Structure 1
Amino acid sequence: MYEPLRPWGQDRDLHNKCFRGRIWCIRDICGIICAVLTWLLVFYAEIVVLSVIYQTETHPIYSTINVFLFNVFAILALTSHTRAMFTDPGAVPKGNATRENIERMGLKEGQVIFKCPKCCSIKPQRAHHCSVCQRCIRKMDHHCPWVNNCVGENNQKYFVLFTLYIALLSLHGLILGVHQFIICVGNEWKECSSVSPPTTVILLLFLIFESLLFAIFTAVMFMTQLSAIWNDETGIEQLKKEEASWEKMSRWRSMQAVFGRFSFSWMNPFTSPPLSMRIC
Structure 2
Amino acid sequence: MSAVMITRKVRKWEKLPGKNTFCCDGRVMMARQKGVFYLTLFLIVGTCSLFFAFECPYLAVHLSPAIPVFAALLFLFVIAMLLRTSFSDPGVLPRALPEEATFIEMEIEAANGNVPAGQRPPPRIRNVQINNQIVKLKYCYTCKIFRPPRASHCSICDNCVDRFDHHCPWVGNCVGKRNYRYFYMFTLSLSLLTIYIFTFDIVHVVMRSVDNGFLNTLKETPGTVLEVLVCFFTLWSVVGLTGFHTYLISLNQTTNEDIKGSWSGKNRVQNPYSHKNIFKNCCEVLCGPAFPSVLDRRGLMQEDSPASSTSAAPSSSSSSNPMSQTMKTTAPLIPNEHTPDDAKPSIAASAEKSDSPKEEDPPTPQVPPLASPETEADASLAKDKAQ
Is TM > 0.5 for Structure 1 vs Structure 2?
yes
Gaps of 5+ in 1: 1-8, 262-272
Measure the CA separation in 2 of the matches of 1:33 and 1:126. 28
1:26 aligns with 2:31: yes
* Residue matched to 1:68: 69
Compared with structure 1, are the counterparts of its residues 117 and 82 closer, same or farther at alpha carbon in structure 2 (3 Å cutoff)?
A: same
**Match for 1:13 among 16, 23, 36?**
16
1:177 aligns with 2:201: yes
Compared with structure 1, are the counterparts of its residues 17 and 44 closer, same or farther at alpha carbon in structure 2 (3 Å cutoff)?
A: closer
The Cα of 1:63 is off from its aligned counterpart by: 4.7
Measure the CA separation in 2 of the matches of 1:37 and 1:199. 28
Compared with structure 1, are the counterparts of its residues 186 and 125 closer, same or farther at alpha carbon in structure 2 (3 Å cutoff)?
A: same
Query: Residue 139 of structure 2 aligns to a residue in which SS?
Result: strand
Measure the CA separation in 2 of the matches of 1:230 and 1:51. 39
Query: Residue 160 of structure 2 aligns to a residue in which SS?
Result: strand
1:206 aligns with 2:226: yes
Residue-pair matches, total: 244
Measure the CA separation in 2 of the matches of 1:149 and 1:173. 27
Compared with structure 1, are the counterparts of its residues 219 and 102 closer, same or farther at alpha carbon in structure 2 (3 Å cutoff)?
A: farther
Contact preservation (8 Å) 1:163, 1:221: yes
Query: Residue 248 of structure 1 aligns to a residue in which SS?
Result: coil
The Cα of 1:125 is off from its aligned counterpart by: 1.6
- Counterparts of 1:1-280 in structure 2, within 5 Å, are 12-13=15-16, 15-19=19-23, 20-28=25-33, 32-56=34-58, 60=61, 62-96=63-97, 98-100=101-103, 111-112=126-127, 113-188=137-212, 198=219, 200=221, 202-243=222-263, 244=269, 247-250=272-275, 251=277, 252-260=279-287, 273-275=289-291
Contact preservation (8 Å) 1:128, 1:140: yes
Compared with structure 1, are the counterparts of its residues 92 and 64 closer, same or farther at alpha carbon in structure 2 (3 Å cutoff)?
A: same
Q: What is the TM-score normalised by the length of structure 2?
A: 0.56
Higher relative contact order (CA 8 A, sep 6+): 2
The Cα of 1:111 is off from its aligned counterpart by: 4.7
Q: What is the TM-score normalised by the length of structure 1?
A: 0.76
Measure the CA separation in 2 of the matches of 1:173 and 1:167. 10
Greater fraction strand = 2
Contact preservation (8 Å) 2:153, 2:160: yes
Contact preservation (8 Å) 2:90, 2:177: yes
Measure the CA separation in 1 of the matches of 2:246 and 2:158. 27
Contact preservation (8 Å) 1:53, 1:63: no
Give per-residue Cα distances to partners, 1:240-277, cap 9 Å, x unaligned. 1113586223144432332225xxxxxxxxxxx4339x
Compared with structure 1, are the counterparts of its residues 111 and 117 closer, same or farther at alpha carbon in structure 2 (3 Å cutoff)?
A: closer
Contact preservation (8 Å) 1:93, 1:121: no
The Cα of 1:229 is off from its aligned counterpart by: 1.8
Query: Residue 275 of structure 1 aligns to a residue in which SS?
Result: coil
Percent of paired sites with the same residue: 20
Measure the CA separation in 2 of the matches of 1:26 and 1:111. 30
Contact preservation (8 Å) 2:252, 2:285: no
The residue type paired with residue 34 of structure 1 is V
Contact preservation (8 Å) 1:124, 1:138: yes
The Cα of 1:67 is off from its aligned counterpart by: 0.7
Contact preservation (8 Å) 1:95, 1:120: yes
Larger Cα-atom Rg = 2
Measure the CA separation in 2 of the matches of 1:102 and 1:80. 41
Which range is displaced more, 251-260 or 43-52? 251-260
Contact preservation (8 Å) 2:126, 2:138: no
Which range is displaced more, 161-170 or 181-190? 181-190
The Cα of 1:23 is off from its aligned counterpart by: 2.4
Contact preservation (8 Å) 1:140, 1:151: yes
The Cα of 1:234 is off from its aligned counterpart by: 0.8
Query: Residue 174 of structure 2 aligns to a residue in which SS?
Result: strand
Contact preservation (8 Å) 1:166, 1:215: no
The Cα of 1:154 is off from its aligned counterpart by: 0.9
